[in-house]
């Protein structure tokens, strides 16, 4: 019994050809001609570029999870590939059902739909084969085993950094040691040598982008909100995970900063009218077509800020790369005690003048959803209206429009 057909093979062939991405670029440029926000077009260029390089094997292909610092891989001269981000893109394009269904023949349906989507794409042979997988055990158990299973499927090595829970001197030393060990392993496996200048340059680029991120986050405090949370949760978060340490990443943030300065100077909000300001918690949103953000917009509720773009790491010292990378990893507020995450949320609520908070509880995401109760209690203590919105970021079959609408509407009514 064979489900595959000729069409699928043809598309797969196209996806694997670097030329496809070169051709797509001018096409997408044309489609986005009217887009005022230049940064958006840089995002498209960026994603086409990294994908093209990965399929074209313009360097060793290193698969990573979202919270492993990309500076390390750019600094090595390797090509990063992030299946989690690709899975969200596939969901955005409305193509996630099929790979998820295929993954369900291998793994339980109770696990994260992004991993199931990525696994399905792997099983269908759509993704560029990794030479190495590098991940950290932040933020979730799922990632660890998901990537390990992939390394079995692809027959390639998997290096997993396992950050300590506490960010103290002992923990730092442990982390730095692990990064050194991993760096050594990587050069051995990939047949590359560390060029300290390249690594320093990646950190410098990351720092420069970071400065823009600080500026962007400050500009977004303005009322009316100049930048929509739905975009913050899509390509802005995407660039945050994928582009730091690359020059295109810096260009992107520069353009975005400029764009937001312009909007704020003209007092232009992204909504025609803004009455409420919402904070969205969790790193993702449903990427397939859904009505949530439009609905909020119609209720004059702007999603003014979203969790993934909270800037948690400090300036990274390019002269001490391993220490810098350890610092970036260990300052992650979503790891370690929940208290860190809660304090950041309270800070955001204050800085952005937030009226109401939505915690998007994504299917299969225990690490995030498990904190939703305590977070809610703390916000309620401060009198901030809060809802938990159960949903699924990647699987449209797991989306209940009616139930979602009811909850979101209830929040808006709480604000009124």
Partner 1 sequence: MAGSVFAGVDIGSLSAEALLLGEDGVLAYAITATGAYPEQAARRCLGEALDRGGVREEALSRVVATGYGRIRVPFAGREVTEITCHGRGAHYLFPGTHTVIDIGGQDSKVITLDDQGRVTDFMMNDKCAAGTGRFLEVMAAALETDLEDMGRRSLEAKKGVSISSMCTVFAESEVVSLIAEGHRGEEIIRGIHEAISRRIFRMTKRLRVRGEITFSGGVAKNRGIAKALRNLFGMELNIPQEPQVVGALGAALCARDMGPKGGDGSFRPRPL
Partner 2 sequence: MSGSKEILKHLRAEELDPDGGPLIGWTCTYLPLEILEAGGLHPCRILPEPSSDGADAYLDPNFCPLVKTALGAALEGAYASLEGLVILNTCDGMRRLYDAWKHYCPPSFTFFLDLPRNITPRSLSYFRDTLENFKKTVEGHFHIRITRSDLVQALEESNEIRALFRRLLILKGRGDPPLSQGDILDVFFQGWRLPKRRFREALREMVDQLEKEPPRPSQGPKVVVTGSFLEGRAVIDLVEELGGDVAGSDLCTGGRLIQEVSPSSDPLAALSEAYLTRPPCARMQDMERRISFIMGEVQEKGARGVIFHALKFCDPYLYEAPALGEALRQIGIPFLFIEGDYRGRVSGGARTRVQAFLEMLEGYEP
CB 382 within 8 A of CB 412: no
The verdict on 149 binding partner 2 (CB under 8 A) reads yes
In angstroms, the CA 292 to CA 301 distance is: 11
CB 167 within 8 A of CB 277: no
238 makes contact, choosing from partner 1, partner 2, none, with CB < 5 to 8 Å by partner type, with none
According to DSSP, the residues that pair with 81 across neighbouring strands are 63
Nearer to partner 1, 169 or 402 (CB): 402
Q: For residue 334, which phi and psi values (nearest 5 degrees)?
A: -90, -5
The verdict on 397 binding partner 1 (CB under 8 A) reads yes
Number of Cβ atoms within 10 Å of the Cβ of 62: 27
* DSSP three-state, residue 226: coil
412 makes contact, choosing from partner 2, partner 1, none, with CB < 5 to 8 Å by partner type, with none
Name the one residue in this structure whose structure tokens are 């696990």: 111
x/- letters, 95..134, toward partner 1 (CB under 8 A): ------xx-xxx----------------------------
Residues in the chain: 416
Q: Which of 188, 366, 382, 405 binds partner 2 (CB under 8 A)?
A: 366
Q: Which of 94, 337, 401, 416 binds partner 2 (CB under 8 A)?
A: 337
| Dihedral sign (CA 115, 121, 126, 129) | positive
In angstroms, the CA 63 to CA 45 distance is: 20
Euclidean distance between the first and final Cα of the chain, in Å? 57
Q: What token pair was written down for 415? A: 């604000």
According to DSSP, the residues that pair with 352 across neighbouring strands are none
Q: For residue 136, which phi and psi values (nearest 5 degrees)?
A: -115, 155
* DSSP three-state, residue 61: strand
The verdict on 382 binding partner 2 (CB under 8 A) reads no
Site for partner 2 in 160-219 (CB under 8 A): 160, 162, 164-166, 170, 174, 177-178, 181
| Segment interacting with partner 1, rule: CB under 8 A, options 65-73, 137-145, 302-310, 391-399 | 391-399
| Segment interacting with partner 2, rule: CB under 8 A, options 20-28, 37-45, 142-150, 254-262 | 142-150
The verdict on 370 binding partner 2 (CB under 8 A) reads yes
Q: Which of 228, 245, 371, 393 binds partner 2 (CB under 8 A)?
A: 371
Site for partner 2 in 99-138 (CB under 8 A): 106-108, 110-111, 137
Binding residues (CB under 8 A) for partner 2: these are 106-108, 110-111, 137, 140-142, 144-146, 148-149, 152, 160, 162, 164-166, 170, 174, 177-178, 181, 337-339, 361, 363-364, 366-367, 369-374, 377, 390
């Amino acid at each position: 019994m064979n489900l595959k057909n000729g069409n699928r093979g043809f598309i797969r062939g196209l996806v694997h050809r670097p030329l496809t991405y070169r051709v797509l670029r001018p096409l997408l440029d044309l489609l986005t001609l009217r887009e005022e926000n230049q940064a958006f077009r840089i995002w498209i260029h960026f994603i086409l570029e990294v994908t093209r390089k990965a399929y074209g094997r313009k360097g060793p292909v290193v698969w990573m999870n979202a919270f492993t610092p990309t500076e390390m891989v750019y600094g090595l001269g390797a090509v990063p590939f992030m299946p989690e981000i690709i899975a969200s893109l596939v969901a955005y394009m409305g193509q996630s059902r099929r790979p998820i269904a295929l993954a369900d023949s291998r793994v339980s349906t109770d696990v994260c739909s992004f991993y199931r989507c990525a696994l399905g794409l792997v099983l269908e042979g759509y993704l560029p084969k990794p030479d190495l997988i590098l991940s950290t055990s932040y933020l979730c158990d799922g990632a660890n085993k998901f990537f390990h299973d992939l390394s079995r499927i692809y027959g390639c090595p998997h290096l997993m950094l396992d950050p300590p829970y506490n960010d103290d001197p002992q923990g730092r030393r442990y982390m730095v040691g692990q990064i050194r060990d991993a760096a050594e392993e990587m050069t051995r496996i990939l047949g590359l040598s560390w060029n300290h200048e390249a690594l320093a340059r990646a950190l410098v680029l990351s720092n420069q982008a970071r400065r823009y991120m600080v500026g962007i986050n400050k500009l977004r405090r303005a009322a009316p909100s100049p930048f929509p949370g739905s975009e913050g949760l899509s390509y802005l978060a995407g660039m945050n995970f994928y582009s730091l340490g690359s020059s295109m990443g810096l260009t992107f943030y520069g353009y975005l900063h400029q764009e937001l300065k312009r909007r704020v100077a003209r007092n232009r909000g992204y909504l025609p009218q803004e009455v409420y300001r919402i904070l969205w918690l969790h790193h993702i949103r449903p990427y397939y077509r859904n009505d949530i953000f439009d609905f909020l917009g119609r209720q004059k509720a702007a999603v003014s800020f979203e969790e993934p773009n909270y800037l948690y790491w400090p300036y990274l010292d390019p002269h001490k790369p391993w220490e810098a990378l350890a610092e970036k990893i260990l300052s992650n507020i979503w790891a370690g005690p929940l208290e860190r995450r809660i304090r950041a949320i309270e800070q955001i609520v204050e800085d952005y003048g937030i009226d109401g908070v939505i915690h998007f509880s994504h299917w299969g995401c225990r690490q995030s959803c498990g904190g939703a109760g305590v977070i809610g209690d703390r916000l309620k203590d401060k009198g901030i209206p809060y809802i938990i919105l159960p949903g699924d970021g990647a699987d449209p079959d797991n989306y209940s429009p009616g139930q979602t609408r009811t909850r979101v509407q209830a929040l808006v009514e709480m604000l009124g």
